[in-house]
């Protein structure tokens, strides 16, 4: 059944789905790779643990990264609802326009989260920025290909 649904999706919309998956993978990797331990020491035979901070999900940057993830999920859900069998949805606007809006929100939130992470200072793990790049690349792919789908639908 999944192959039948995938066959109904246009080539541009497939890249939008790939971008949504990239944002999801980037967010999950950021939760794992964005952590570092601050402090912690041993003295007189006693070990005092440090504090683990996840730079990726901490503060406003984490909020923007979650919003980027939610926008990517919205994009994937709209794509599914568009091609799902037995779904007769009256969309309030063209589906390509909804995809473009959600993809642009994902891209902007990913960029803002990265800018906040760069400006916070501290000593964050370098791998966290790879996760940020993955979210931005996924958001950019979703935005570009949904824009191409929107212009193609508008021209038709």
**Could you give the domains of the chain?**
2-155 (1.20.140)
Residues 6+ apart with CB under 8 A from 117: 55, 56, 61, 124, 128, 129, 132
Does the pLDDT at position 102 exceed 90? yes
Q: What is the phi/psi pair of residue 29, to 5°?
A: -65, -35
Convert the pLDDT of each residue in 113-128 to its tens digit: 989 888 877 677 888 8
- pTM across the whole model: 0.85
pLDDT band at 110 (very low <50, low <70, confident <90, very high): very high
Who contacts 128 (Cβ-Cβ below 8 Å, separation ≥6)? 30, 33, 34, 55, 56, 117
Residues 90, 92, 93, 98, CA torsion sign: negative
From CA 59, how far away is CA 123, in angstroms rounded?
Answer: 15
The pLDDT of 93-101, averaged and rounded, is: 92
CB atoms within 10 A of CB 124: 20
Burial readout 92-106 (b: 16 or more C-beta within 10 A, e: otherwise):
eeebbbbbbbbbbbb
**pLDDT tens, position by position, 20-49:** 999 999 999 988 888 777 777 777 877 878
């Amino acid at each position: 059944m999944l192959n039948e649904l995938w066959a109904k999706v246009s080539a541009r919309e497939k890249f939008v789905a790939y971008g949504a998956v990239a944002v999801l993978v980037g967010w999950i990797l950021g939760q794992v790779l964005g952590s570092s331990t601050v402090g912690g020491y041993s003295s007189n035979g006693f070990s005092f643990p440090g504090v683990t901070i996840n730079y990726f999900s901490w503060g406003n940057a984490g909020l923007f990264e979650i919003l980027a993830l939610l926008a990517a999920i919205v994009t994937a859900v709209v794509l599914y609802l568009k091609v799902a069998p037995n779904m007769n949805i009256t969309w309030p606007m063209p589906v390509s326009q909804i995809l473009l809006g959600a993809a642009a929100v994902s891209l902007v939130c990913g960029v803002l989260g990265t800018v906040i992470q760069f400006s916070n200072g501290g000593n964050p793990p370098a791998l966290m920025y790879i996760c940020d790049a993955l979210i931005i690349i996924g958001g950019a792919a979703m935005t570009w290909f949904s824009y191409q789908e929107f212009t193609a639908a508008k021209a038709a």
